[in-house]
Structure 1
Amino acid sequence: MTATEPAVRRGSLPAHTARRILRDFLARGLEPGDALADEATLVERYGVSRGTLREALRLLTFLGAVVVKAGPQGGARLVTPGPSVVGSALGMVVQFRGATLRTVFESRLAIEPEVAALAAAHRKDSDLELLVESVASLRSARRKRGPEFAAHSGRYHLRVAEASHNDVLATIVPALAVMTTTVPWRFPHGSREELTGLISTVVDAIRSGDGSTARAVTHVMIKSVVDGLQRDQPASLERRILWPDVDEVLSGDRDA
Structure 2
Amino acid sequence: MADPTVERRAPRPRRSRPVRVAEAIKDWVVEQGLHPGDRLPGEAMLIERFGMSKGTIREAMRLLQAQGLIETKTGPGGGSFVGEVTRERANALLANYFYFRDVTIDDIYQVRIALEPELAAGLAGRLSGAQLAELEAIMTEYAEPAASAEEERRQHVASLRFHARLSDFGQNKLLGYFISFMAQILTDLTVYKRLYTAPNHDLWQKGRRHQADLIAALKRGDAGAARDTMRSHMLMARKLMEDQEAEVMKRFIAE
- The two structures have a TM-score, normalised by structure 2, of 0.76
- Gap change, CA 1:99 and 1:68, over 3 Å in 2: same
Q: Which moved more, 1:153-162 or 1:117-126?
A: 117-126
Which of 114, 124, 128 is 1:110 aligned to? 114
Mapping for residues 1-256 of structure 1, pairs under 5 Å:
10-120=14-124, 123-124=127-128, 126-139=130-143, 142-143=145-146, 145=148, 146=151, 147-180=153-186, 181-182=188-189, 183-186=193-196, 189-190=200-201, 191-231=203-243, 233-236=245-248
Q: Distance in 1 between matches of 2:129 and 2:42?
A: 42
Q: Which moved more, 1:64-73 or 1:219-228?
A: 64-73
Q: Which moved more, 1:142-151 or 1:62-71?
A: 142-151
CA contact (8 A) 2:106 2:242 kept: no
What's the CA shift string for 1:92-138, capped at 9, x where partnerless? 33333311233222222222222222232654555334323323334
- Gap change, CA 1:142 and 1:104, over 3 Å in 2: same
Q: Distance in 2 between matches of 1:42 and 1:154?
A: 45
Q: Distance in 1 between matches of 2:63 and 2:249?
A: 35
- Gap change, CA 1:226 and 1:104, over 3 Å in 2: same
Q: Distance in 1 between matches of 2:215 and 2:34?
A: 37
Q: Distance in 2 between matches of 1:192 and 1:116?
A: 21
Q: Distance in 2 between matches of 1:189 and 1:233?
A: 15
Deviation at 1:224, TM superposition (A): 1.0
Q: Gaps spanning 5+ residues in structure 1: where?
A: 1-8, 239-256
CA contact (8 A) 2:119 2:170 kept: yes
CA RMSD in angstroms, aligned pairs only: 2.8
Deviation at 1:60, TM superposition (A): 2.4
Q: Distance in 1 between matches of 2:20 and 2:175?
A: 27
Amino acid at match of 1:184: R
Q: Distance in 1 between matches of 2:126 and 2:50?
A: 41
- Gap change, CA 1:231 and 1:171, over 3 Å in 2: closer
- The two structures have a TM-score, normalised by structure 1, of 0.75
What's the CA shift string for 1:203-251, capped at 9, x where partnerless? 222233322222211111121122224445425599xxxxxxxxxxxxx
Amino acid at match of 1:200: A
Q: Gaps spanning 5+ residues in structure 2: where?
A: 1-12, 251-255
Q: Distance in 2 between matches of 1:144 and 1:79?
A: 45
Amino acid at match of 2:77: Q
Paired residue total: 229
CA contact (8 A) 1:84 1:175 kept: no
What's the CA shift string for 1:145-168, capped at 9, x where partnerless? 534323321221111111112111
Deviation at 1:185, TM superposition (A): 0.4
